[in-house]
Structure 1
Amino acid sequence: MKSKYCLGSSKENLSNSESTKDSYGYSRFPETIERIEYGRFRNIYLYITEKCQLRCGHCYMGNRLKNNTSMPTEKVFSTLQLWRKMGGSKLSILGGEPTMHEDFVDICRYAKHLGYEKVILNTNGLRNTIQQLSQMESNEFSYIQVSLDGGSSFSHNKIRGSGTFNITWSTIEYLINRGFDTRVICTVNKKNRGDCLDLIERCEKAGVSLLKFHVFSTIGNGQGNTEWGMTPKEWINFYEELEDRKKHYNISIWYQPSYATSETIIKFIREGYKGCIGRTLDRISVFPDGKAYVCSYLFDTEFNMFNTGNGKILLN
Structure 2
Amino acid sequence: MARLLGFVVFIHSCALVVYGQNLANLFTIQPGTTKGGCGAHTALLNQYATESLQSVTVAIRALNTHGGANTANGKKVRRALNTFFKISQSIPNGQNDRNTIATNLQYVLDWFTAGFPNIPPAETFLFCNSDFLVQRAVTDQAQDYQGNGITQKGQNVPISTAYATSLTGRNVPWWSGTHTTANGYYFVPANTGGNYCNTPGRDGLTATLNIYIANPNGPPTQHAEFSTVVLCPGSFTNANRPDTWPAGSNQIRAGHSLETALPKCTTLLHEAFHLIFGSGPAPGMLEGSSEFY
Rg: which structure is higher? 2
TM-score between the two structures when normalised by the length of structure 1: 0.27
- Structure number having the greater strand percentage: 1
RCO higher in structure (CA 8 A, sep ≥6) = 1
